[in-house]
Amino acid sequence: MKAQYHALSAGIAAPMLIPVLGPYSAVFFASSVLIDGDHYLDYLYRNGFKDFSVKRMFTFHKKLYENWKGKTFLGLNIGHTAEWLLLVYGAYAITDWMWLKAALWGMLFHMVFDLIYGYQRKGLRRRALSIIEYIIRWNRMKRRGLHPELPYTSTLRVMSGFSEGKIGKTEEDN
């Protein structure tokens, strides 16, 4: 789901949560939107930390998800995993800090919309919801002779104009 839709849905929900969360409804809003920062981390990792452009990150993911229906597509976004949510929950359980509770609820709110979006597009199985699941599925695909890295590398190749050393950059960016 696009970031602006997450911002819109969280922007509607957060003010309604003021009676429950008080000023922490702002944390709910922020976490519901900023959880997608893991897409930027994914882009950095996939391009070998050679290109830090936020604009090209959006282009990368747009082009990547145009081809997500392929057999070899498997996505992982760290902030969208069970492990990340358990980490945030654990931190809240230990500290009892209200802002962590609000952040957790914002992330879960975001995830519900992502899951609905994925279900509607028949793409629920294209994103791993756990790091462990991702590793198991990635390795299983490799053993079957599939190349789960291919959608990422081919998207970067298309973006770079097939020239080495220019990952994600266009002529006007240089």
163's tokens: 């020239």
59-68, 73-82, 123-132: segment of lowest average pLDDT: 59-68
pLDDT value, residue 131: 97
- What residue type is assigned to position 31 of the chain? S
The residue ranking higher by pLDDT, 68 or 170, is 68
With CA atoms as reference, report the closest residue to 40 among 52, 22, 29: 52
Confidence band (pLDDT; 50, 70, 90) for 125?
A: confident
For the chain, give the mean pLDDT.
90
Going from the C-alpha of 161 to that of each of 43, 47, 55, the distances in angstroms are 17, 14, 16
Confidence band (pLDDT; 50, 70, 90) for 174?
A: very low
Q: Mean pLDDT throughout 143-153?
A: 94
The residue ranking higher by pLDDT, 152 or 65, is 152
DSSP 97-110: -HHHHHHHHHHHHH
Contact 63, 111 (CB under 8 A): no
Contact 117, 1 (CB under 8 A): yes
Confidence band (pLDDT; 50, 70, 90) for 140?
A: very high
Annotated domain spans of the chain: 3-173
